[in-house]
Structure formats: C-alpha cells, structure tokens
Amino acid sequence: MERTLIIVKPDGVQRGLVGAILERFERRGLKLVGLKLMRIDRSLAEQHYAEHVGKGFYEGLVAYITAGPVVVGVLEGPDAIEAVRATVGATNPVKAAAGTIRGDFGLAVGRNLVHASDSPASARREVALFFREEELLSYTRSSDPWLLEQAIPPVW
C-alpha cells in the first residue's frame, strides 16, 4: 500500500468544497488514514514549497497556502499517488479533464483547489511535514475485499 498527502487549499475550504473533494477520493476507493483542519504558517509553507524557492511564483504560492484554513489528509491505497493525481486533474483547471476535481470545480491555475504529492519521495517528505506517525491510522474497511484484489469474504 502507498500513502500520499493531499491538501484542500484555502479556496476549496472557503468555497465549501471539502466534502465534495474528499468524497471523490473515497468513492475512488482510497482510504483516509489521517485528516486535519489547520492553518499553515509561513515557516511550514516555506518547507512545503522549498523546491520552488527563487522561482517567480514562489511568494504567491506561500501567500496563497497561508491565506486561510486548509484540510490536510493522508490517503492510502495501491498506486495511491498516481490515483490521487489522476483524480485531481491537470494543474491548470481549464486544461483538466471533466470528471477531475480541478476540471469540475476550478478555473485558474492560481486557485486550483487541491495539492497532491507527485512522487513517492515527495509523499514521504510531505506526509512527515504535516503528520506525526502516531497520527496516522492503520485499519481495515469492510469494503476493502470488494475494492482490492484479495480474497473475497464469504457471503453470510
């Protein structure tokens, strides 16, 4: 199983889309193993966006992610990083496919609703920035055998 970080950004929270966004991941079959509402301060934003330091859009990214509350989550599933990114859609919402979060709810690159880790290394680093290990839960859902290729339980 793979874990990955998502952030429903301030525009998603302010527009009341948290439930709709999280629902997309759950309907896909991904499991929430960590979730919190928080405000990202400048220090954490700088750590999160460290790879963009020096780029023209860096200050805008930091200002945007710190502008209001966010919902941060960790999702788990087979190929979770790829599944989440496909569900989120292209960075530019206008170019994102219909049926994706950004394609259905977004209009502008600078207000694209959700962050998703882009690689296993990024996912590990980002999850560790926002969650302590003891904040992440491991559990089995009764629907897992119907979502994942494993033994089907007997029908009672």
**Domain for residue 6, yes or no?**
yes
- Residue 109's domain comprises 2-147
pLDDT per position as a tens digit, 69-117: 999 999 999 999 999 999 999 999 999 999 999 999 999 999 999 999 9
List the catalytic residue out of 88, 115, 127, 130. Answer: 115
**Domain for residue 155, yes or no?**
no
What CATH number does the domain containing 106 carry? 3.30.70.141
**Domain for residue 152, yes or no?**
no
Residue 35 has pLDDT above 80, yes or no: yes
Structural contact between residues 29 and 88, judged by C-beta atoms closer than 8 angstroms: no
Residue 42 has pLDDT above 90, yes or no: yes
Q: What's the structural domain count of the chain?
A: 1
Sheet holding 70-77, edge to edge: 31-38, 70-77, 2-8, 114-116
Q: Which two tokens stand for residue 112?
A: 């694209």
48 is catalytic: no
Mean pLDDT of 41-56: 95
Query: Phi, psi (5° rounding) for residue 48?
Result: -65, -40
